Structure 1
Amino acid sequence: MTIPPLKDLLMQKYKEVPLESILAVDPGETTGLAFYEGDPTDIRIGQIKTKTIEEGTDQIIDILTRLKPQTVVIEDYRVYAHKTRAHTWSDLHTPRFIGNIQGLCHLMRIGKPKLQTAQQAKHFSTDDKLREWGLYRKGLVHGR
């Protein structure tokens, strides 16, 4: 299978989004991050510990302040039918954290973040594509 260059895929996928700077966030108790700033050969990826909402919020404020992204894309959160029992009495950390990120984007005048499902991200960026582009980092649970 031939994998098209990342720049071509980004241009096709995000026609309506300015490609100067995009911060992608995979929120949770460990939060994955990817930052794109116009050069498809320089996508920075990583992850941060966000076990508490307060800790995560402080770190996201720092990241948004330093990077100043034009667009933020957040992986949305859904409770799937087969997981409803596991969510009983859960504090729902991830959706609360997503709300904080949305609020911070508003307060910092970044604009309304774009939400996408995990399936959308996985369909667009398979592990094979990430390996081909040099963005699959072993040992990063959420930073690939």
Structure 2
Amino acid sequence: MTERAEDAVRAYYDRLRNDDPLADAFREGERTVKFGITESLFGSEAVRAALREQRETTADWHVESHDLRVEEYDDLARFADEVTMAWTDREGGARRRYDSRWSGVVERIDGEWLFVTMHVSAPPEDDG
């Protein structure tokens, strides 16, 4: 059980690094939303399915937080961070790396902080 919202965000990063399941870090229900670099997921079932697929198709995650900021209010908190992340595609072995931005909301439900919304974005690649 995480006592602070910040601990829940950091634990999520650790779970990515350790190839641990991520699906249970999100609140149940249709109002849960996760936006990734290439995806828009609405509802906890869609989020969980995508996270299971991500775990099956990627490996060797590197996640480095650069400026995590969390503001906690009773049972809700918002967070924002700049994160360097990289992983290897299991099929083909290509290594992917992004300097990304993360933000979202976590809610304390039955003493556990769960993600309600998560938004991960990356600046467009420079073709020049």
When normalised by structure 1's length, the TM-score is 0.27
Q: Name the structure with the higher helix share.
A: 1
Q: Name the structure with the higher strand share.
A: 2
- Rg larger in structure: 1
